[in-house]
Structure 1
Amino acid sequence: MPSLEAPSLNQAIPATMTGVQLIGHGGPEMLQLNQHIAVPTLTDNEVLIRVLAAGVNNTDINTRTGWYSKSDVKSGDAESDDTSWSGNTFVFPRIQGADVCGVIVAVGNKVSQNRIGERVLIEPCLREHNGQQLTSPWYFGSECDGGFAQYTKVASQYACAINSSLTDAELASFPCSYSTAENMLTRANVGSTDTVLITGASGGVGSAAIQLVKARGAKVIAITSPSKNEHLLSLGADKVLARDVDLVEVLGNNSVNVVIDLVAGKQWPQLLEVLKPGGRYAVSGAIGGALVDLDVRTLYLKDLSFFGCTVLAPQVFQNLVTCIESGKIKPLVAKTFALEDIATAQDIFQQKQFVGKIVLTLV
C-alpha cells in the first residue's frame, strides 16, 4: 500500500486515492482495498477533506451484512430494495465510514477559501448532498461515500471545525457514537433530576451516553458484562448491573425516569416495568434482537413516551463539538488499525470485548 502521508495545503490534489470499497453484502471478503479510486469532485457548496482517522461502527457492519433489510439478503440476495440505512436500495461499490476526522484541503466555488486547513469532524446525518436538498436524510458512508479512503467530500455545513488538542484517532471516536447518544438524551429531555438506565453501556454509544448524562448532572445506571464494571464506574456510572440481571427484582418497579436502549432483545419488557409513570424510553439500536414483546397496557397505563432516534436534531452535533472543546467528555479509543486492516478491525469490533471505539488511521 502506498504512503498515506498528508499533503501540504499547497500541494496539488491527486487524481486518484486509496480506499476500501464495499462490493456486496456478505462477510469481510466484501471489503476491497482499491488504490485507484477517483478523488471526489466538488459541487459549489462542498468541501474536500483529507481523512486522517475514521472510526468503525455498527452501521458499517449492519450495512455489509444486509441487517437493515427486512428480507433475507444474508443468503446473497443483493437485489433487495431496503438494505441501506435509510431503507432504500444500497448502491455498490460504496466507501463506508461515518466517523471522520480530517482536514479541509479544497472547497467548492461557494465556500470560503478560509476553510482550507481547518481540522474538522463530519456530522454523519446528512440533509444535503451534491448541492441538492434530500427528501429524507442520508447517513455518511451509507447512501453516499464516506471516510474509509484518503479523501472524502461533504456539504460544507456538515464539516464542523474543531479546536482541540486531542489526536486524530481520539477525535474520530466521537461523531457517530456521541452524537447518537446526545440525540437520544435530547429527544428524551434528560435533566439533572433524572435517573437514567443505559443498556449496552460498554459500547461506543453506551459509554458516550454515560459521560453525556453525567455532564447533564443526572444519575446513571449502566448495564454491561461484569468484566467491564470498573471501567464504566470510572466513566461516571453510579451503579453497574450485569446483562442477565432481573431488572425488576434489583431496581424495583417504577424506579427510573429514562431508559436509553441500544440492545432491545428478550430483556426488553423489563425496561418498561422499571420506568416510572411518565417515563421516557429512547432507542437507537437492537443488538440483542429487533423483535420484542410489548404489553400495550404498560405503555398507556404508565403514560410512557417512546422515542425512536435516528436523525439528529439540528443542534445536537454542534452541542457535541462544544462539549469536546470544553473537555466535558473524553475519548475512548480501544484500539487503532491501519486502513488496510479493516477486516481485522471489524472482527475485533464484533467481539465486543472492549470499551469505547475501534479507529482506522490513515496517516
Structure 2
Amino acid sequence: MPANVSVPERMTAALLTGHGGFEKLEVRDDVPVPVPAAGEVLIRVAAAGINNTDINTRIGWYSKVVKSETSAGGAQGYDDLNDDDASWSGTPLTFPRIQGADCCGRIVAVGEGVDPARIGERVLVRNMLRSYVDYRPWECWTFGSECDGGFAQYAKAPARETYKVECDWSDVELASVPCAYSTAEGMIHRVDVREGEHVLITGASGGVGSAAIQLVKRRGAIVTAVAGANKAEALKALGADRVVPRGDKLTDHIPAGSVDVVLDVVAGPAFPDLLNAMKRGGRYSVAGAIGGPLVELDVRTLYLKDLAFFGCTFQDDEIFENLVSYIERGEIRPNVSNTYPLAQIVDAQTEFLSKNTGGKLVLVIPE
C-alpha cells in the first residue's frame, strides 16, 4: 500500500447478522477494514444503491418455503424459514455479512499483481462477480451476498471486475446503476430485443423497470410500461410510449397478442394476463417476482402460442462492460429518487418496500 494513502483499521458498516426483519441490520463503527488479496482492489465507497435482492436476502425470501410477495416479509421477515436455501444461489449465507450489490467509490489500495496506478480511479463494481468462480459457465457470486458488498465505508473486489468510469455523473447517480441496469440489460440481451418490436415492462417505476425502459428505447423498440398511475408522466419522460396503470387488465389498453417481448420482475396474479398479451412466438423474460413467486400457467398457452421463456439471473460477461460504455457515451441517464445516509438504512428500505417512489434509492456513505 503506498505510504501516501491513509486507510484506517476500522470502518462504519451495516452488518446483516442473520435472516429476518430490520432488527437483523446493525450499523457499527468498529468493523475491520478489508485487506485486498492478490488481484483485488480496496475501494473507499461513496454511495451504494438499494435493491430488491438486498431485502430478499435479508428476509430469506429465496427459500422455497416462502410463497408470498417480497413486501409480505420485508419489514419483519418470516417465522418459518429454511436457512439452508434462503440465498439466491441456494448455498447458505455466512453471517455477519455486509450487503450492498451496488458500489461506487474510489480505489485506495491494491493487492499483489494489481497496478498501483489504479489508485484514485472512480469505479463501479460488477455486481455479478465471475472471478471467484473461475468464470465457470452459469456461475457467479453476487456482491453483497456471497461476499461482502457496498454498505460500508470500504469494500474489496476483484480488480478485473472493478471498472473505471469517466463521466460527469455524481457518485450517487453512478451508484444507482450496477444491479438494476445490469439486470435489465441482461434480460434484454437474453431475449435479443430488436428495433421496432413491442416490449412490455412490468414494475416499470422501480430500479430495474425504469432502467429497462431506457435500455429498450436505446435499441429502437416500442415500450408499454406497467406501473402505478401516478408514475405515468415520469415514465414517459424516460421514454415509455404507453403506461398501463398497475392492476388494470392489459387488453383494456393494448390488443391481445400484440406484444413481442415481456420483461417481467413482478410475476404474481397478473402472470396469465401477460401471456395473453403476447404474440405467437413471443419471448418472456423474468428476473424477479415482487408480486409473488407462484403463478398460474396454462401450459396450453405456452405451447399453442409457441412462446419462449427465459429465466435471467446469470449475465454474460459483456453486459457490465456495455453498461459502462453506455454511461460514458451518454446513451442512458440515472433515475435517482432519494438518498439516505448509511445510518438510516432501515428508513431507506422502508421507503423502498412502500413502492411509492419511482426510481432508485441510494445510501450515501459517510467520510
- Pick the TM interval, shorter chain: over 0.9
Aligned to 1:273: 276
- Note if 1:199 corresponds to 2:199: no
Q: Which residue type is aligned with residue 246 of structure 1?
A: K
Q: Which residue type is aligned with residue 49 of structure 1?
A: I
CA displacement at 1:11 relative to structure 2: 2.6
- Note if 1:237 corresponds to 2:231: no
* Mapping of residues 66-215 of structure 1, within 5 Å: 66-71=60-65, 74-76=77-79, 80-129=83-132, 136-215=139-218
CA-to-aligned-CA distance 1:231-250 (integer Å, 9 cap, x gap): 11111110110111111343
Q: Which moved more, 1:253-262 or 1:72-81?
A: 72-81
Q: Secondary structure at the match of 2:288?
A: coil
- Note if 1:304 corresponds to 2:298: no
CA-to-aligned-CA distance 1:94-135 (integer Å, 9 cap, x gap): 000011101111111111112111110111001223x96678
Structure 2 residue ranges without an equivalent (≥5): 67-72
Q: 1:42 to 1:76 in 2, by over 3 A?
A: farther
Q: Secondary structure at the match of 2:124?
A: strand
Q: Which moved more, 1:79-88 or 1:271-280?
A: 79-88
Contact 1:99 1:173 in 2 (8 A): yes
CA-to-aligned-CA distance 1:63-110 (integer Å, 9 cap, x gap): 111101113694456762111121110111000001110111111111
Q: Secondary structure at the match of 2:236?
A: helix
CA displacement at 1:10 relative to structure 2: 2.4
Distance 2:53 2:363 in 1: 15
Q: 1:84 to 1:242 in 2, by over 3 A?
A: same
Q: Which residue type is aligned with residue 315 of structure 1?
A: E
Q: Which residue type is aligned with residue 11 of structure 1?
A: V
Contact 2:63 2:81 in 1 (8 A): no
TM-score scaled by length of structure 2: 0.93
CA displacement at 1:252 relative to structure 2: 2.0
**Partner of residue 338 from structure 1, selected from 317, 321, 341:** 341
Aligned to 2:5: 11
* Mapping of residues 293-332 of structure 1, within 5 Å: 293-332=296-335
Regions of 4+ moved over 4 Å: 72-79, 131-135
Q: Which residue type is aligned with residue 41 of structure 2?
A: V
Distance 1:71 1:141 in 2: 23
Q: Secondary structure at the match of 2:85?
A: coil
TM-score scaled by length of structure 1: 0.94
Q: Secondary structure at the match of 1:291?
A: coil
Q: Which moved more, 1:76-85 or 1:207-216?
A: 76-85
Distance 2:153 2:123 in 1: 15
Q: Which residue type is aligned with residue 339 of structure 1?
A: L
* Mapping of residues 256-271 of structure 1, within 5 Å: 256-271=259-274
Distance 1:55 1:150 in 2: 14
Q: 1:9 to 1:133 in 2, by over 3 A?
A: farther
Distance 2:189 2:130 in 1: 19
Aligned to 2:39: 45
Aligned to 1:34: 28
**Matched residue count:** 355
Aligned to 1:60: 54
Contact 2:5 2:109 in 1 (8 A): no
Distance 1:134 1:147 in 2: 24
Contact 1:9 1:116 in 2 (8 A): no
CA-to-aligned-CA distance 1:293-327 (integer Å, 9 cap, x gap): 11111111211111101111111101111111111
CA-to-aligned-CA distance 1:11-63 (integer Å, 9 cap, x gap): 32211111010012221111101111111122211111110000011111111
Q: 1:79 to 1:16 in 2, by over 3 A?
A: farther
Distance 1:79 1:111 in 2: 40
Q: CA RMSD in A?
A: 1.8
Contact 1:85 1:143 in 2 (8 A): no
> Identity of aligned pairs, percent?
54
Distance 1:348 1:330 in 2: 22
- Note if 1:25 corresponds to 2:19: yes
Contact 2:59 2:78 in 1 (8 A): no
CA displacement at 1:195 relative to structure 2: 0.6
Contact 1:98 1:139 in 2 (8 A): yes
Distance 2:82 2:192 in 1: 40
Distance 1:118 1:70 in 2: 41
CA-to-aligned-CA distance 1:151-194 (integer Å, 9 cap, x gap): 00111111011001111000000111011001100001001121
Distance 1:307 1:227 in 2: 30
Distance 1:228 1:51 in 2: 31
- Note if 1:292 corresponds to 2:295: yes
Q: Which residue type is aligned with residue 209 of structure 1?
A: A
Structure 1 residue ranges without an equivalent (≥5): 1-7
Q: Which residue type is aligned with residue 62 of structure 1?
A: N
